Structure 1
Amino acid sequence: MSRITPEQAGGQNVCAFLDMLAWSEIGPDLLAHSDDGYDVLVGSTGRDPLLFDSYATHPNIYNRRFKSTAAGRYQLLGRYWESYKAQLRLPDFGPVSQDRIAIQQIREQHALPDVIAGRLVDAIGNVSNIWASLPGAGYGQHEQHINDLRQAFLAAGGTLA
């Protein structure tokens, strides 16, 4: 469950969308075997969780197999951390900071109004270039089916338009 409150996030649908993203990127097994995904490194699985132990900053650990530094609940690449930290005046890479970065990424893709209104398909289409697990992302990784994402969004308390 996202740590940012609906009031801070811009509504319950934003929190539900964040939870859907975490379900999509991290998966339910790994969410259960970590700090709800906030401490997960790229390449982790439920059977073999790769976790970092400090939220002081982005861990920026390069995974050679995946050629990535992605970390956290929303798998942020290390190269983006400093700019978001400065832009959003974040104190650390903790859970609320990660939530705020994901919301900013959604905002930058002009998808926040769709998320808030419950236009899930439109919102996902607008942010699929950021999250490889979303339909249409095209990164060569497993992409979730829209019906499963819809179920995750609704299970997290989201409301569809």
Structure 2
Amino acid sequence: MPTIDSQAAGGSNRCAFLDMIAFSEIGPPLLAASQNGYNVLVGSTASHPLLFSSYATHPNIFNPTFDSTAAGRYQLLYRYFSHYATQLSLPDFSPLSQDKIALCQIKEQGALPFIDSGDFSSAVYRCSNIWASFPGNIYQQHVNPVSSLQIAYTDAGGKVA
């Protein structure tokens, strides 16, 4: 469950979409082995979690195996953090800040109206260039099928039209 509440997020479908992103990017076992994914570094697994301990700022830890600095529940790259921190007046990389950044990224992709109306598949495909685990991207990493993502979304309370 995201830290941001439904009212601040703009509705329960948006919170369910955030949960679905975490399901897709982090996976249930690692979500359980961490602070709900908020302190996860790229390359983590449930059997070998790579976690950071301070939310003061994005940890900016480079994983050469994945050529990435992705961190947090939504696997944000370090190079984007300062932009969003400034744009959203965020004080840190806390769970609430991570939720706000993810919602901003979703908004930038034009996916919020699709989430709000329950057009789940369209929302996922609009965001596929951000999250490598979504179908329709070019990142050549593990991709979860939209059917699995929709189950995670509805299990988190999301409504599909």
- TM-score, normalised by the number of residues in structure 2: 0.99
| Count of residues in Structure 1 that have an aligned counterpart in Structure 2 | 161
Alignment partner of 1:88 is 2:88 = yes
Alpha-carbon distance in structure 1 between the residues aligned to 2:118 and 2:18: 13
Write the distance in 2 (CA, Å) between the matches of 1:131 and 1:50: 19
Instruction: Report the counterpart of residue 22 of structure 1 in structure 2.
Output: 22
SS in 2 for 1:61: coil
Q: For residue 137 of structure 1, give the secondary structure of its aligned residue in structure 2.
A: coil
In structure 1, give the amino acid aligned to 2:155. Answer: A
C-alpha RMSD over aligned residues: 0.5
Counterpart-to-counterpart distance in 2, 1:138 and 1:45: 23
The separation in 2 between residues aligned to 1:123 and 1:137, in whole angstroms, is 13
CA distance in 2, matches of 1:140, 1:11: 32
The aligned counterpart of 2:35 is 35
Residue 136 of structure 2: aligned partner? 136
Distance in 1 of aligned mates of 2:153 and 2:137: 18
* Paired amino acid for 2:101: I
Unaligned runs of 5+ in 2: none
SS at match of 2:54: coil
Counterpart in the other structure of 2:152: 152
Residues 29-71 of structure 1 deviation map (CA, whole Å, 9 limit, x = unaligned)? 1000000000000000010000000000000000011000000
Q: Which amino acid aligns with 1:24?
A: S
Give % identity: 59
| Runs of 4+ with deviation above 6 angstroms | none
Q: How far apart are 1:117 and its partner, in Å? A: 1.1
Distance in 2, matches of 1:115 and 1:91, equals 27
**Aligned match of 2:102:** 102
TM-score by length of 1: 0.99
The match for 2:59 is 59
Residue identity matched to 2:40: V
Specify the code of the residue in structure 1 equivalent to 2:70.
Answer: A
Q: CA shift at 1:116, angstroms?
A: 1.1
The corresponding residue for 1:75 is: 75
Separation in 2, partners of 1:45, 1:122? 29
Q: Which amino acid aligns with 2:14?
A: V
Aligned AA (1:72): G
Looking at structure 1, the residues matched to 38 and 69 of structure 2 have their Cα atoms a distance apart, in angstroms, of 14
Shift of 1:74: 0.2
CA distance in 1, matches of 2:39, 2:137: 24
CA positional deviation for 1:157 = 0.4
- For 1:8, the equivalent position in structure 2 comes to 8
Alpha-carbon distance, 1:138 to partner: 2.0
